[in-house]
Amino acid sequence: MDDGELMFLGAARQAELVREGKVSARALAEASLRRIAALDRHLGAFRVVRARERVLAEADACDAARDAGTELPLLGVPVAVKDELDVAGEVTTFGGAANLTPAAGDCEAVRRLRAAGAVVVGKTTMPEFGQWPFTESAAHGRARNPWDTSRTTGGSSGGSAAAVAAGLVGAALGGDGGGSIRIPAACCGLFGLKPQRGRVPTAPQPHLWHALGTIGPLTRGVRDSALLYDVLSGPADGDRWTARPTATSFARAASTGPGRLRIAWSAKPAVPGVRPHPEHVAALRRTAELLRELGHDVREVSPRYPDATAAFLPQFCGGVRAEAAAVERPELLERRTRQTLALARLVPEAAVERAVRAGERLADRADRVFAGADLLLTPALAHRPRRVGALDGVGLAGALIRSRPMVAYTALWNVTGHPAASVPAGFGTDGLPVAVQLVGRRHEEPVLVGVAAQLESARPWTARRPALPAA
């Protein structure tokens, strides 16, 4: 196989090939590093690529472990990590220039990936503190969509999405505080599941943006995501939130039929004043019809979504404030970030805690959507991925306005904590991917994963690859 064939296989198949001795972990690592060197100057997916000798030494250790009979679920898989998560020996920049000192150790999610045999090749780009659904940073530039490099990857995990969509790594870690896994997955044609709050530990931090943020992977397919979630899931000391154990493993859910379910669908956004693009509505209708053909009871609904602004905004401000307070050179923060912090100074910590409790009440109200349904199907985005430069020349107010169509279907479920996933649903007339969102009941990710796997089988999306620029 050439490098592209290897790297587009995805995490699950890559791990199988290493376990079977058909490809070495070193060969995978070398293929990943070569593709990054050849292509990332067009994409801006990586903030930093780890030293070649360290990456290859870790890959060689994986090969030695395989030869010794050690079986690990992610043995030899090259992965990338969003730059808000600690990787030992690398600076955690949060997308900016204000940190300079390398992290002393891995965060818990990265530690679990390494323990499962994954090889971390680098850290991916993001907007400063993950504030925006566009991966654009004054310090580290713009991430570009592999399907059309003039277009955004979305954000804030846009570097991770570009790295997976372009076949630079087998999977990548992201974070989702308002849609930051699902939005770039939708823009780049990937599967991206925001798990139930508390499913993946945030240690050494007790939380990410209080109740809003979760950690999870972006992957080419559902089986890849399920494999990583089985590695990542489970409580850790110090977590503020802990999800209930799932009834079955993610991998089993991805490989077994979910049975006949009641699935509600709606094109109505949870953010007032936003109109969905007609191609997104058409993809939603096609997916609803496909689910009906697959045997599900599918019905259109008009949910009465609660207004989540009063619960979201204080937690957003408090989360950015807490992360900014920990950087070494606050004078180097971006102008927009300083504007966010000026707003955050008006939000006392008591108001943040009230917002957390308000979000819990909203979760109970949002559960009414599931009184007569097992899943909710919506668009993933309201608008098509816009041209890069979405944040050029705008301050906080302008960035918030431009962000609204990107988070219109996603942010509510961060406030309530429900699991939700972006699922590829074909391509638009602009050649860019189109996606739908599946939202599940609280703590019931396996149901969502099972239906996503059904859709993937009926409408395969991983065979198509972006036509990347010449090296």
The catalytic site residues sit at 82, 156, 180
310: which residues sit within 8 A by CB, 6+ positions away? 355, 358
CA–CA distance from 255 to each of 29, 43, 333, 456 (Å)?
A: 28, 33, 46, 11
Before 156, cis peptide (omega within 30)? yes
Produce one character per residue of 139-163: b if its CB has 16 or more CB atoms within 10 Å, e if not: bbebbbbbbbbebbbbbbbbbbbbb
Residue among 125, 75, 81 nearest 103 (CA): 81
CA distances 273 to 9, 276, 408, 434, Å, are 41, 10, 9, 21
**From CA 353, how far away is CA 285, in angstroms rounded?**
39
Can you list the positions of beta strands (E) in 320-419? 375-379
Angstrom distance (rounded) from CA 39 to CA 169:
12
Beta bridge partner(s), residue 172:
80, 218
Q: Is the peptide bond before 204 cis (omega within 30 degrees of 0)?
A: yes
Provide the token pair at 400.
């918030």
For residue 207, give both structure tokens: 């939380």
Residue 72's nearest CA partner among 28, 128, 133, 113 is 113
Dihedral, 177, 178, 181, 184 alpha carbons, nearest 10: -140
- CA distances from residue 34 to 17, 174, 341, 347, 471 in whole angstroms, order as listed: 19, 23, 40, 47, 10
396 φ, ψ to 5°? Answer: -60, -50
Q: What is the CA radius of gyration of the chain?
A: 20
CA distances from residue 55 to 61, 119, 431 in whole angstroms, order as listed: 10, 7, 35
